[in-house]
Amino acid sequence: MAIAIVLIVIVVASIAFHFLSPWWLTPAASNWGEIDDAFNLTLVITGAFFIVINLMIAWFVFKYRHRKGHKSTYQPDNKRLEAWLIGLTTVAIIGLLAPGLVVYGKFVAVPDDAKEVEVVGEQWKWSFRFPGEDNQLGKSDVRFISPTNPLGVDPDDPASSDDKIILTPELHLPLYSPYKVLLRSKDVLHDFNVPQFRAKMDMVPGSVTYFWLTPTQRGTFDILCAELCGVGHYNMRGRVVVEDDAQFGRWLAKQPTFAQTQQPASERDTPITDPVEHGKTLSEVNGCIGCHSIDGKPGVGPTWLGLYGKTEIMSDDTEVLVDDDYLKAAILNPNAEIVKGYPPIMPVYQFSDEEVDAIIAYIKVVSSPEADPARADNGEEDKEGAQ
């Protein structure tokens, strides 16, 4: 009897929690409201089965409880009951699978007027690429990946030169414009997920996956990796900014073309004048902030807050002062000396002396407790911290 009461309480509490819960889906910010419909239908079907099955069990426990003088009977089969169970189960499974298959078919059926944007994932950061004036993305291949060509764009493909390269984890999209999202991974399995778009897709190394969407709501939305991709997975974040066509056009016009990124720094139209801002960009582009926090929170690597001038204990129990020389050695040869308590997982980067100095300048700014937090976050000039 107690079991029957407990089952009824569970059913009632579950229904009450569903309708009284403060946690509801945010409004869909893309054309994929149909995904919400499929989700709600799944919830109704599974919820109905949950309620019916548990109430039936409670009823059976009560009705067929042990009573003195009562004897159970054995029924080897019941054709009618089996037919009902098979029929109801078949209908329920069709109801669960069919809407999802229909929506998925639309999800990958790209409209003819859709433009393209490429998303590249790697541990633990996002990068993006838009076609240039020719409206055609250049080819890419892992053999072309280098420190100056992190997306592996084919330099011999004429369509590549005017491609817009975005190496910071911020993607802009115009409102009400359909886009085909091409997805590549440089290392392990990732999953590009923007919850408000109801859009997600696995990124498989060695292949290109895709889906399409039309942003329908202005705003800034988080990009998450929905596939466990390593120790820095939780910090693999970015954002999508949905804005008017004019704003999007101005933003895209400011982004460098692939041809411009291949020019030596001395030949670029906009020479680097602020090493701290350059260091901030480099730390974002190369995934440094995916492992090293700038607010003191624990991470895969030591936090940069309060790091400069600190004495660190190495894995062999020796003590090292964190100064310019130490930081330079740690950036260029990260596995030579490992801070105690942290794994030796930092990749080897091929930075120029100018880039190393810029990263160190940025570390100094975010490290100093007296540094202006807005300076560290926004890259506004802080000459004292850059010295």
Say how many CA atoms lie within 13 Å of 149 toward its Cβ. 20
* One-letter amino acid for residue 174 of the chain: P
- Give me 113's structure tokens: 């007027």
CA 386/CA 360 separation, integer angstroms: 8
CA 264/CA 281 separation, integer angstroms: 17
Q: Is the dihedral of CA 149, 154, 160, 163 positive or negative?
A: negative
pLDDT for 167 = 85
Residue pair 222/237 in contact by the 8 Å Cβ criterion: yes
CA 283/CA 346 separation, integer angstroms: 13
Q: Which residues contact 183 (CB under 8 A, 6 or more apart)?
A: 118, 119, 121, 192, 201, 202, 203, 208, 209, 210
Does residue 278 sit in helix, strand or coil? helix
As averages over each run of 10 residues, the pLDDT of the chain (387 residues) reads 88 91 87 87 88 90 81 81 89 85 87 93 89 91 84 90 89 94 93 92 92 93 90 83 93 91 65 74 75 82 88 88 89 84 77 83 82 45 36
CA 208/CA 123 separation, integer angstroms: 17
H or E stretch covering 119: strand 115-122
pLDDT for 223 = 93
Give all strands of the β-sheet with 115-122 in edge-to-edge order.
164-166, 125-130, 115-122, 179-185, 209-213
How does DSSP classify residue 149?
Answer: B
pLDDT for 108 = 86
Q: Which residues contact 206 (CB under 8 A, 6 or more apart)?
A: none
Match 């506004």 to its residue by tokens: 380
**H-type alpha helices, the chain:** 2-20, 33-63, 79-107, 245-254, 258-261, 275-285, 324-332, 353-367, 373-378, 383-386
Instruction: Specify burial of residue 119 (Cβ count, 10 A radius: 0-12, 13-18, 19+).
Output: buried
CA 371/CA 185 separation, integer angstroms: 36
Reported pTM: 0.71
pLDDT for 273 = 60
CA 366/CA 283 separation, integer angstroms: 12
pLDDT for 378 = 44
**H-type alpha helices, 64-78:** none
CA 30/CA 199 separation, integer angstroms: 9
Partnered with residue 182 across adjacent β-strands are 118, 210
